[in-house]
Homo-oligomer: A and B are copies of this chain.
């Protein structure tokens, strides 16, 4: 059985939990507390496993992988069914691009370590920090909403009628948007996809509140 080093609120770990569940793969969760005591992810014990000091890390026998999208691509190659990427190369590229719109263009800018730097090194106020968070979500969701709405056929999920890599990224980002009270009214398509995903057990079991380290 594989092991996922995870934190209940980490978006990146949440993505991998969804993918593991969608593929029906059993795994053990080892919690890494990102906040307590300055962050367990920065301690030598965790750095020995993942030098970046970020979660998640996926360990399976001799396999040690970091970066959520790389882990999910690996799961896709090792366990192709059910597929999280379409078969057609252009459609695959579109799915990867929409996933990166979240995983590269929203999430890293709003990540915990960045918010910490804003507060501790630049001395911004909590209100400015929250505005920063919301700004990048709104900017990213505005173009994502336009892209989802512009698709020639609208499925139940972000792309089509089965879950893809996009949904693995979208649901955790909406969870975070809700935490920061982002008004989702301008993003009806994203909200509908999120709501549909959360009717599925694979997504519900991956949610922060369903994790062993939930607070």
Contact = CB atoms under 8 A, between A and B. Distances in A.
Contacts of A90: 63, 65, 74
Contact of A128 (B107, B109, B122): B122
Interface string A49-75: 001111000000001011101110110
Interface residues of A, number: 46
A93 interface: yes
A-side interface mostly: helix
Given A117-B132, A135-B117, A146-B51, A89 B74 contact: yes
A77 to B, nearest CB: 4
Contacts of A121: 131, 135
A104 B118 CA distance: 19
Contacts of A150: 51
A37 B25 CA distance: 51
Contact of A101 (B52, B71, B132): B52
A93 B122 contact: no
Interface of A: 51-54, 63, 65-67, 69-71, 73-74, 77-78, 89-90, 92-94, 96-97, 100-101, 103-105, 107-109, 113-114, 117-118, 121-122, 124, 128, 131-132, 135, 139, 143, 146-147, 150
